[in-house]
Structure 1
Amino acid sequence: MDSYRNSDPRPPIMQGSPPKLVPPKLDWDRGPWNRWAFQNIREVLPTVEVWRGNGHRRRFERVEVDLDDLPVVDSTGSATTLAGLLDETYTDGFLVLKDGKIAYERYFNGMDERSLHLSQSMAKSVTGSVFGILAGRGLIDPAKPVTSYLPELGETAWAGASVQQVLDMTTGVRFSEEYTNPYSEIGQVDVASGWKPVPPCSDPAFQWPAHMFELILRLKDRVRPHGEAFEYRSIETDVLAFIMERVTGKRLAQLVSEELWQKLGADESACFSVDGAGYALAEGGFNATLRDYGRFGQLILDNGGGVVPADWIEATRNGRHGPGFNPSLPEGSYRNQFWIEDPRSRALMCRGVFGQLIHIGWDNRMVVVKLSTYPDFANIAYSVATLKAVHAIAAALG
């Protein structure tokens, strides 16, 4: 069954009792099933709460601007409107904060203000921000070797790597992000994290990892000297999370709750998916509401708001840039688990497969959140058109 855009008829996935269209366990994250599953992860996977606490909710003022008809370009470079682009790119929720106020907010595909939506790799930036808090407190020194905190990794490819190299994804650890190959390391993450069962036709002699730390301990091959080059590898974020858990004696979901979620004034508790050992998947298992992702982006835009150290955010905005850094970010960079758009704006971006984005721009004091369910893991044309739309919105709002 093909995926559907918001302007198309909506198939009755998980409707009725019992429902007739149930996402298959091997393909729940692919279209069209992800259009339901990304908003209902607690019905798909085991999860752990990231409690919002009993404190304040940060209320947004609203200074709304109707941007539906804003001229932008679509994925082919042809003229369209913002509303048209949001439909083309399988959008579930879209939020624009200007000077900390809601300028534009739209929900699609059954999503509403209380719906939790899977972040995919935007979770890395959430994890990295809490890491920055702990580093600012002196609990972790990024200059130290990884093995200072996780001595077990001395028998892995991380031996000799610094924590900062893990933060910036510049270690030399061999890890393939080939999403469509079940035997690639990211394919093994699907099984180790509990996201997917062992593929039914896989080699019976292949030993699938039972949980994420077991997978980490298996990674013994190095493809280059540590620090030589950036290569995007999701497993680096999980190494950071295990360091955080080891030095604090707390699980990741508790750390994110206490250090971040209770302090940014979230509307709703968030959640992480967990593996068979109860580990919250730092690299991509975080779920939150559209506005709460906006609150997180605004906290970063406010230079940490007294929660994340301002010098950590300033350091995060400085990285080694292109050329040819990434197909959709040719002048980009990566630092401390955030993407940097270019060396001029130094705008930070949280990005995840299937079209997840938080864009944080200091030049225009603007945060844009886009939650999506592309049919495929990545679509460079959609990502480029979305970034151009962000710039068009910034120009329109001044």
Structure 2
Amino acid sequence: MKTGTKWSLRVFLTLLIVAAVSWWAVGPDWRAFLSDPPTDTRILFWSQSQRDEGFKLLDQLPWLVKSRDITPSKNVRPLPKGEAISLSQDINAFFEEQSLSGALILHKGKIRFEKYGLGHSVDKRWTSFSVAKSFTSSLVGIALKEGHISSLNDKVSQYIVGLKGSAYDDVTIEQLLTMTSGVAWNESYTDPNSDVSQFNLHQAEDGLPTIVSYMRQLKRAHPPGEKWSYSTGETNLIGILVEQATGRNLADYLTEKIWQPFGMENNASWLLGADGYEISGCCIQASLRDYARYGLFILEEGAINGESIFPDDWLAKATNKQVDIGRDGKGYGYQWWTFNDGSFTARGIFGQTIFIDPKHDLVIAFNGNWLHASDPILNEKRFNFIDLIRASIDAEAN
């Protein structure tokens, strides 16, 4: 064999070995994801198998989206193990039906149940989707107490000057929080041309944040405060408002005010739009236990070192019905879904949930990957399961 041929063979074999080692080094989640990579940058249109792997990796795909770190605490809030809760439902069948990657039940601050699926585990992150809206709401409450926001009756365009001259001139911060701005918005998760599918692809004008440039062109559908209409765009504006008011990016503000002082255990992240702002209506990546800790933080009325970091009446308004959504026994607060029995929940597409019931001293966190972004039947079955948990707690008390 000629020297040149030997050299080429050595180079080829070396590259082959390097590629094999690299493929093994990225780990099973990456290998599974890269074996069937999505071609559409919009997660709404990935296949279920692509989402099973991708939901664990969204903040590790820099060619798709950037993220900003949320740093954990050096003084972790313990979650001690409690007695296993008695469940009358087949939990394995429930996991399969709900396509769950994790479920955790905290009762009186103790873990009564914890289980993982879809290759997820206790220290891995999973994306939140609209569960992040409730986190964003908390940052508004903190900014209000700290005086960065004067009043929820202030007009939105007072803080986001790029909205001056738009339909948002007449909208208050409170109306933004309750999604009653009256500005037209299409939240369809199946329509590629809907606002929720298109806003992050928008080319911003005049150096504005992408969402501000997009939202200021929208037309009014109803007078402000008259009608509730679910809009991720509104929450994305809330994030810009908080950043403009505080001078802090959302990930750092969350880290400083909640994540570290309350004792979150794991690294987390917040996905960024192309303009470098957090997509505040979506997309925090965190461990299931830290989602549950956030629920515990709310259950404990936002107390850090014995004192709430919210205004006195904040949670009473934020987590109770402020507007009617046309469903019996249910309503909407400040970016929280509310129930007439006093419980409330943060919810995200594909089955993400943090459920909080103060009367039962209960927090339940779910992560998952439903086949469709929204599924009323699976949602109803999930809350039937939650009712079984509450019934089990009631039976223990009796």
Q: TM class by shorter-chain length?
A: 0.7 to 0.9
Quote the residue 2:56 is aligned against. 39
RMSD: 2.5
> How do 1:2-41 and structure 2 match up within 5 A?
16=31, 19-26=34-41, 28=43, 29-41=46-58
CA deviation vs aligned residue, 1:312-368 (integer Å, no higher than 9, x gap): 11112332465833xxxx3211111111022xx221200001001100001111000
Quote the residue 1:199 is aligned against. none
> How do 1:56-205 and structure 2 match up within 5 A?
56-65=75-84, 67=86, 70-72=87-89, 81-140=90-149, 141-192=151-202
- Between the aligned partners of 2:41 and 2:97, the Cα distance in structure 1 is 26
Letter in 1 for 2:262: L
Quote the residue 2:9 is aligned against. none
Which of these residues, 221, 227, 239, is aligned with residue 219 of structure 2? 221
Quote the residue 1:358 is aligned against. 354
- Between the aligned partners of 1:126 and 1:323, the Cα distance in structure 2 is 21
Higher helix residue share: 2
- SS of the residue corresponding to residue 224 of structure 1 reads coil
**Count, aligned residues:** 358
**8 Å Cα contact 2:59-2:67 kept in structure 1:** no
- Report the TM-score, using the length of structure 1 for normalisation: 0.84
- SS of the residue corresponding to residue 102 of structure 1 reads strand
**8 Å Cα contact 1:321-1:332 kept in structure 2:** no
Quote the residue 1:4 is aligned against. none
Quote the residue 1:379 is aligned against. 375
Letter in 1 for 2:103: F
- Report the TM-score, using the length of structure 2 for normalisation: 0.84
Quote the residue 2:277 is aligned against. 279
> How do 1:169-318 and structure 2 match up within 5 A?
169-192=179-202, 212-305=210-303, 306-318=308-320
**8 Å Cα contact 1:320-1:334 kept in structure 2:** yes
- SS of the residue corresponding to residue 75 of structure 2 reads coil
- SS of the residue corresponding to residue 285 of structure 2 reads strand
Please tell me whether Structure 1 or Structure 2 has the larger radius of gyration of its CA atoms.
Answer: 2
Check 1:217–1:390 CA distance in 2 against 1; reply closer, same or farther (3 A cut).
closer
Check 1:17–1:315 CA distance in 2 against 1; reply closer, same or farther (3 A cut).
closer
- SS of the residue corresponding to residue 366 of structure 2 reads strand
Check 1:176–1:239 CA distance in 2 against 1; reply closer, same or farther (3 A cut).
same
**8 Å Cα contact 1:60-1:100 kept in structure 2:** yes
Letter in 1 for 2:67: V
Offset at 1:155?
2.1
Letter in 2 for 1:32: S
Quote the residue 2:13 is aligned against. none
**8 Å Cα contact 1:303-1:310 kept in structure 2:** no
Offset at 1:191?
2.5
CA deviation vs aligned residue, 1:173-219 (integer Å, no higher than 9, x gap): 111001222222111135249xxxxxxxxxxxxx9x99633543443
- Between the aligned partners of 2:319 and 2:101, the Cα distance in structure 1 is 28
Check 1:317–1:273 CA distance in 2 against 1; reply closer, same or farther (3 A cut).
closer
Check 1:13–1:60 CA distance in 2 against 1; reply closer, same or farther (3 A cut).
closer
Check 1:143–1:32 CA distance in 2 against 1; reply closer, same or farther (3 A cut).
same
CA deviation vs aligned residue, 1:128-148 (integer Å, no higher than 9, x gap): 011111112222121111121
Offset at 1:13?
8.4
CA deviation vs aligned residue, 1:276-328 (integer Å, no higher than 9, x gap): 21111100121111000000000111111223445211112332465833xxx
- Unmatched runs of 5 consecutive residues or more in structure 2: 1-26
Quote the residue 2:5 is aligned against. none
Letter in 1 for 2:387: H
Quote the residue 2:391 is aligned against. 395
When structure 1 is superposed on structure 2, of 95-104 and 235-244 the one drifting more is 235-244
- Between the aligned partners of 2:274 and 2:174, the Cα distance in structure 1 is 28
Check 1:263–1:142 CA distance in 2 against 1; reply closer, same or farther (3 A cut).
same
- SS of the residue corresponding to residue 383 of structure 2 reads helix
Offset at 1:249?
1.3
- Between the aligned partners of 2:222 and 2:198, the Cα distance in structure 1 is 22
- Between the aligned partners of 2:73 and 2:230, the Cα distance in structure 1 is 37
- Between the aligned partners of 1:389 and 1:61, the Cα distance in structure 2 is 23
- Between the aligned partners of 2:252 and 2:120, the Cα distance in structure 1 is 26
